[in-house]
Each structure stands twice: as structure tokens, then as C-alpha cells.
Chains A and B, each alone.
Chain A
């Protein structure tokens, strides 16, 4: 589990995805092969802006073990500006959340593996301030 967390640090901390230079599609998390172009695709790193809109969401009221302290919390699928979608928690009032709401990423603690275990960091979304 520890290695799995480290392996994705670049992607999670800095929101680095992949762009297929052949068809232009953006992927996050990164992929080795473009599902559209397959072996004809050339993949390069792309820095995502972290800005997007709420595509759909749910309020989790029966949380898994690692997230009991946060419950209830919002989990959403965000459509990013660059055209890809990602899943993440949305930090806002439970009664304010709605589909179409503009949001952006913030770097946050995601979970702790027990008292002395690994602390995982990554992105959460917050409403965009105009």
C-alpha cells in the first residue's frame, strides 16, 4: 500500500496527466496507451489546471473505515477544463453542492492509515472563487 501511494505522487500532488498528441485527448490518471489511437498514439505529460465543473456527486453517509471522521462528505466526478473527468471529494456545504458548479483543486490530506500509519495526500475540490 505504501509503494502504491508513492508511485502516484507526481500525478496526485501536481495533477500531471497524459495527452495523446495524435488525437488530442487528455487522460488522468496517466495511461501508457491511448484507447482511441492505441499504438498509433503518442502520449506526453500534461499539467492540468485543476479547474472544472461538478458533473455528478453524492453525499457519502455510510463511509469506509478510513473516512469515518469526515462523514458525511461529498464525493463527486468533476469534468475538468481539459476534457477529462476525475473523481474526488468536494469540500463545500452539503446543501450548496449542485451539478454544474465550478470547482478547483486544492492540495489536501486525504486519509491516515491508522494512528501511526501512512498519511496520504492529494487533491480535493473546492468551489471556485470569482
Chain B
């Protein structure tokens, strides 16, 4: 199997981008990634695009062809990949597999979602749950995660303050991310007092509806120095994926994402490193509870202790003992443009690990040279992880 390198990354701002269309967003981020990687359009062998639902959000399917066309990249093969909110990292994983297999040398990976063109994005987002047995009875996406939170609180005594601390730290981190949707601080009290969405979750426990795109150039590690400077090359040591039941009620345990445990364990094994060697992580906090659950499922603290672990500040950027989690502000504050999120997470790790000027105000200490991203589809029916390393 060939080694894989990231040689360039670019993203748009995440937020309500009424001036930009679906295709423009992805092309904007794609051009940035191409320029950043110092490749030409002619060098690109294939393209993978992650997007959850062009059909429901902007009334457009066949998005792979649309994007290849609009990006001026015909006739290279372009493939659209869908796994709800994990579409972006599944596109990246597809690119990694095609390079590992020797099929392509240089691949452009893009993720995009344009969510603010429809009046009611809730209905479109609900299609990532079990339509016939969850959405049918009135279970919304926030309420499914709220039910996880309620059960977690019942089993482990997590407090609303601890849950709210997650959001407060996320907003603090996003202040220094110029691409983030929200760049204002919020206190733990403000999170708790925000308008209720699905008890115990308030609006400030939930990630926003966002437009945005992120793109990355990945290539055969043997060819990376043909394009990029040595300092701009970061390696993808593991690209893993696992599945679980789509309906939350079919799981024996709702305080953990089994697919995240399986995917991350496999990633640690594939890369030959443990969770204790990870300097920086980007985890999928579409709702604050998911951030806490993933902190445990990825092995950063023991089951049931994430509330205390976060409250004590162990995952903050300025901590020097533990992993930094979501220096970008995470989905909560940086924004959650569904199909783009998985690539944005890995893009943040790329910047953090090479200590790029893009993240100089939120730079995590890089002691061992490893980062991991966990991207979740639905309520955990799909989880993809990517483990990055400074060294090949």
C-alpha cells in the first residue's frame, strides 16, 4: 500500500453565505487548495466530493459532474460520496484508498454544503436519521442527541454546567479562527440560559446551519516533494470507517458511539500510536454531548469522566499535558456545513501539525507530531477517522 501525503488545503468561511452558490463555494475552496499545493489542474488525476444532500438543500443532484465541470477539471473522474454529516471524510477516505491502491497520484478532495437556501433545513437534516421510525414520530435531530445527553446524565451524573462548558470553550477557540461562523465568547451561564431546543439542549449546545466548503490535495507520498516544500507535507497514517445502527433506539448503549470506538481503535493500530501520543484532535460536536462522548470514545479519558475532564480545562489549547481538542472552535462555533465538515476537521489538523500561520493564534503544542479527526454521520451510523502525522 502506498503512503499518502496532504500537500495543500483551502476553505471558505463557514456561515450564512447568501452571496455564494453551492458550486461557487466548492470551486473557491478548491482553487485555494490547488494554489496552496502548488499543483496545476493538469496534475490532478481524480476528484472526490463529499456532500450530504444537494437535492434537498439546493435541488441539485449529480453534483460530481457539476463540480468537475464548473471547476474546469473535465474529463478526470469525479465521484460524489454521501454519508450524511460524514460525507466529507468519506470523500477523503475514498481518495486515500485510490492513492493507496496506486490508481491515482494526485487527488483533489472537496466537501461542500449550502444549507441556507431552503426555508426549513430541519426536514433535510432529519433524513440522516431513520425517517420511518424516528422522524415519523416527531423525533428531530437535536432531540435524538438530547436523548443521548439525558441518558448520559442519568448514568454518569454529568451536569448541565459541564455540558455547557464544552460550548463555552468552543466559542473561545473560534475567536481566533477567521473562517469560523461565530467569533464571540459565550459564558457557561449564557449557554444554559439560551433558548431551549430539545431538553436538556439549548441553542448554544447545537451547531449552526452553515454554508461552506473545504478542499484538500492529497497525493502519493513518493511524489509529494515534486510539488510541495518539505515543511508543507503532512502524512495520513490511517483512514478508517465503521458503521452502527441508523436508529438510536436499536443500540444497547446510547452513551457511546460504538462506530467511533471501532474506527479510532483501528486508526491507532494502523498508525501504530496510542491515544496518549495525540497532540491535537478535531471531534464532531454537532451537539455538545457528542463532543464529550467522542472525547471518551477516542480514548482521551475514561468512560463517564469527560464532563470533569473538560471542566478542568485539560483539552484547552494552552494545556501542555493532554490533547488539545477542537482548536478551530469545532462544529459548534466554527460552523457545520455538513459535507464540508470532515475535510475542514482534517484541514485544521494539517495546519496545526505543520504549525501554519493560519492557526498561529490557536496553535496547539506539537510534541509527538500526531493528530486525529473523528467525523460522525447521523447519530453515529457512520464514523470516519483520519490519523495524521508530521513524519512519514
Contacts and interface: CB of A to CB of B under 8 A. Distances in A.
A59 interface: yes
Interface residues of A, number: 32
B137 A88 contact: yes
B122 A87 contact: no
A63 interface: yes
Contact of A77 (B120, B123, B197, B254): B254
Interface in B144-175: 146-148, 150-151, 154
A87 B247 contact: yes
Contact of B137 (A55, A62, A87): A87
B55 interface: no
Contact of A111 (B138, B140, B198): B138
B140 A122 contact: no
A78 B248 CA distance: 11
Given A4-B132, A58-B147, A60-B143, A65 B137 contact: no
B254 A56 contact: yes
Nearest to A79: B249
A66 B126 CA distance: 13
B212 interface: no
Q: How large is the interface on B (under 10, 10 to 19, 20 to 34, 35 or more residues)?
A: 20 to 34
Given A56-B151, A58-B199, A61-B199, A67 B132 contact: no
Contact of B196 (A61, A87, A124): A61
Contacts of A73: 138
A87 B139 contact: yes
B142 interface: yes
B198 A56 contact: no
Given A88-B137, A111-B138, A120-B136, A77 B248 contact: yes
Contact of A62 (B154, B197, B249): B197
B133 interface: yes
A75 interface: yes
B117 interface: no
Which residue among A56, A60, A76, A120 has the maximum number of chain B CB atoms within 10 Å of its CB? A56
Contacts of B197: 61-62
A64 interface: yes
Given A61-B198, A61-B199, A77-B254, A122 B248 contact: no
A6 to B, nearest CB: 12
Contact of A60 (B120, B154, B198): B198
Interface string A67-96: 100100101110000000111110000000
Contacts of A88: 137
A99 B154 contact: yes
Contact of B123 (A62, A64, A99, A110): A64
Contacts of A24: none
Nearest to B133: A29
A8 B122 CA distance: 24
B250 interface: yes
The 8 A-B residue pairs with the shortest CB-CB distance, nearest first, are A58-B146, A56-B151, A59-B199, A85-B249, A58-B143, A56-B147, A67-B138, A58-B198
